[in-house]
């Protein structure tokens, strides 16, 4: 079971995410590595929206293989290349929200100078529990 933790002593989240998610047992956990915007043939789409879409499709495939779905995601960490942040942060958050179907997960969004491959504009890591 997943339950959003909402302490009255702190301000509301800055966007559509939860400060914390409490997961009670018995639970299976899935931790992904940083998922990047490459398809199975190694192609990388251009632009944050297309890369975010590719990453979330990759994450969906990982979740499905583990017998899970978007409803099981409890935490998201997104790394966005700083040069892509003019609209990139909003686009990355919109893609996260669309994938999660409006469900809120604990979420961290970090800007970085670059990622391991120059073509990658973002990388996303998730934790899921069922």
CA distance 19 to 13: 6
pLDDT of residue 85: 74
Radius of gyration from C-alpha coordinates of the chain: 15
What pTM was estimated for this model as a whole?
Answer: 0.88
CATH of span 2-129: 3.30.1330.40
Q: How many CA atoms lie within 13 A of 118 on its CB side?
A: 0
* pLDDT tens by residue, the chain, 130 residues: 788 898 888 888 888 888 888 888 888 999 999 999 999 999 999 999 999 999 999 999 999 999 999 999 999 999 999 888 778 888 999 999 999 998 999 999 999 999 999 999 999 999 999 9
Domain ranges of the chain: 2-129
pLDDT of residue 48: 94
pLDDT of residue 97: 95
Cis peptide bond upstream of 9, omega within 30 = no
């Amino acid at each position: 079971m997943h339950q959003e933790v909402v302490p009255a002593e702190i301000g509301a989240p800055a966007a559509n995410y939860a400060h914390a998610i409490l997961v009670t047992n018995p639970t299976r956990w899935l931790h992904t590595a940083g998922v990047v915007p490459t398809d199975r043939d190694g192609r990388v789409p251009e632009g944050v929206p297309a890369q975010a879409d590719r990453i979330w499709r990759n994450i969906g495939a990982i979740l499905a293989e583990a017998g899970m779905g978007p409803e099981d995601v409890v935490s998201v960490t997104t790394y966005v290349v700083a040069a892509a942040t003019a609209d990139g942060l909003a686009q990355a958050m919109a893609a996260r929200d669309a994938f999660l179907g409006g469900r809120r997960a604990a979420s961290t969004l970090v800007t970085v100078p670059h990622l391991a491959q120059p073509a990658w504009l973002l990388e996303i890591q998730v934790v899921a529990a069922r």
